[in-house]
Amino acid sequence: MSSKITIGLFGFGVVGEGLYNVINESKIQDAQIKTIVVKDKNKSRSIGKDHFSFDPEDILEDESINLVVELINDAAAAYDIVTTALKRKKNVVSANKKLIAEHLDELIALARENDVSFLYEAAVGGAIPVVRNLEEYYNNDLLTSVEGIVNGTTNYILTQLAAGGTYQETLKTAQELGFAEIDPTLDVDGFDAKFKLTLLLKHAFGVSADYRKIQQIGIRNIKAADAAYAKEKGYKIKLLARAERIEDGVLGYVAPHFITNTNLLYNVNDEFNGIVVEGAFADRQLFYGKGAGSYPTASAVLSDISAIKYAYKYEYKKATDNNLKLSGNFLVKVYVGSEFVELINEIPFVRIDEVFQSEGYSYQTGWVDFSELQKFQLNSIPGLSVIFLPEPILHKSKAKGLEVSKKQYQVEF
């Protein structure tokens, strides 16, 4: 492409405005925003109206614009913008994790067919440079796992719960601070983290995953009693997106975890994100930083813009001749808590290790078959907390000794 980057920007919200300021302040040579397309004609903005257009074709039909930056919230509208731009042989940078998770392989194919770049570093972890590192730095290392705190809203809520707050009080504060949306479902039920995990699976293991088939358990059912259990055991509760290669498959899910102080994510608190990458030779490495916000996210977009100056493209080398697929052929150790004992007994434990019952709250810990757990819509069962414990995940072929009895031990009324 031409060494001069002429940008068509879709969206001028928190990130779009941040990108506009960052580009002007960073003084990147040979990169400029020519046209900004927005939807709301009546919204007050920090720069003059002459900078804006309301017709997408003002960008998509402009042959002088060779890079489209898509920073809008509407995934359906973003799909139309991105696919049209790629078909018209324009490079694309996007931060829309829902769009990309839903259509990743299609968008990769379109970019290759039209010999253009499609980059999305900002879609995973904000300012954390994890996608390109998985593509390049870890290309020759046998990756074993990637796990991360990739949603700042839930991490803020869980940090405050550990300090003694309640879920509802902490959620309200997060909304007032702008960390949480008025409808927090995408965050607290784990959808946002699952979209990001879909992208991590592709770049870490070459796995094309249907995000709808990835198990996600959110945090809306976590209660003060669960936080008290964590404190008693020396744990912290973190919502983790996890991908781990074990034997012949890859396990991928989003769920709350109890973690110990030996976990590199233990001190990643409040709205910060952290991602731990583990390889057979590189051991464990932590990527840490702000996962959202105007300038942090804009900095990741700017990094992609700079890469496009050098015609950089993701190569997806790990997907070449790769037969790895998502698998549920594992056992995991979990904590299941509720004030309703009958809800706890719905979970089909392979082995129960600990039982606690009181007048107001009960819990069990033990091992469950992950494929059985996947059958439950756990976000839709009010009052039932399911939190993964720190023990390593076990492939079924190496977990025969766990079944000490075929009898299902249950908490008694």
Name every residue whose Cβ is closer than 8 Å to that of residue 164 and which is 6 or more positions away in sequence: 224, 227
Q: CA torsion, points 354, 356, 362, 365, in degrees to nearest 10?
A: -10
Location of structure tokens 């993701």: 314
Name every residue whose Cβ is closer than 8 Å to that of residue 273 and which is 6 or more positions away in sequence: 125, 126, 128, 148, 149, 150, 151, 152, 155, 288, 289, 290, 291
Q: Which two tokens stand for residue 99?
A: 């769009």
Query: Which residues carry out catalysis?
Result: 196
CA angle, corner 14, sides to 13 and 18, nearest 5? 110
